Amino acid sequence: MTVRESTFFGFANPVDPRPEELQAWAYHPDAVPLDAMPPDWDLLISGDVLAPVLFELAMDRQCPARRFAQHCMYIYAADGVRQNATGQRKRRLKKFVERADEVGDEPMQIWAHNCRVLMSRPEIFDYTDWIEGGLVRQPRRLGLYNRR
């Protein structure tokens, strides 16, 4: 999938945006600022339907909403390592991690590393880091023996 900049015309339903709407917004995020979005919008959109678009946006160094997309990918990953996560989600997450490792820049390689650590040690999950954006605001590689 190639991410292309396109004109943003708004969301038909911001709670359930279409992939092309999210992609267009990411290149014009000032058109509808994040604080104007529904509460917990990041949690609402970080699912399987939009994950491919969010991943491509997170990989795009030129995307104005890249940090937001990276944040959503941390949420997606945290959800993907839960015991009751679907096999499809786990496989897709593994493919995203492999691709970020192969062709991603440092922030996405850190994301991939952190995902692998969480996959091997789900008990190190920290809500502030993974869901509230801590690992995007303060990027760092988690260690296998870290508590946080």
CA 124 to CA 119: how far, in whole Å?
Answer: 10
pLDDT over 50 at 103, yes or no: yes
111 in a structural domain: yes
- What is the model's pLDDT at position 142? 96
CB neighbours of residue 59 within 10 Å: 22
* Containing structural domain, residue 72: 19-137
pTM > 0.85: yes
1 in a structural domain: no
Question: How many separate domains does the chain show?
Answer: 1
All residues at 6 or more sequence positions from 100 whose CB lies less than 8 Å from its CB, including other chains: 55, 59, 108, 109, 111, 112
pLDDT in tens, 3-46: 455 688 889 999 999 999 999 999 999 999 999 999 999 999 99
11 in a structural domain: no
pLDDT in tens, 42-90: 999 999 999 999 999 999 999 999 999 999 999 999 999 988 888 999 9
- Which helix (H) or strand (E) segment holds residue 52: the answer is helix 51-59
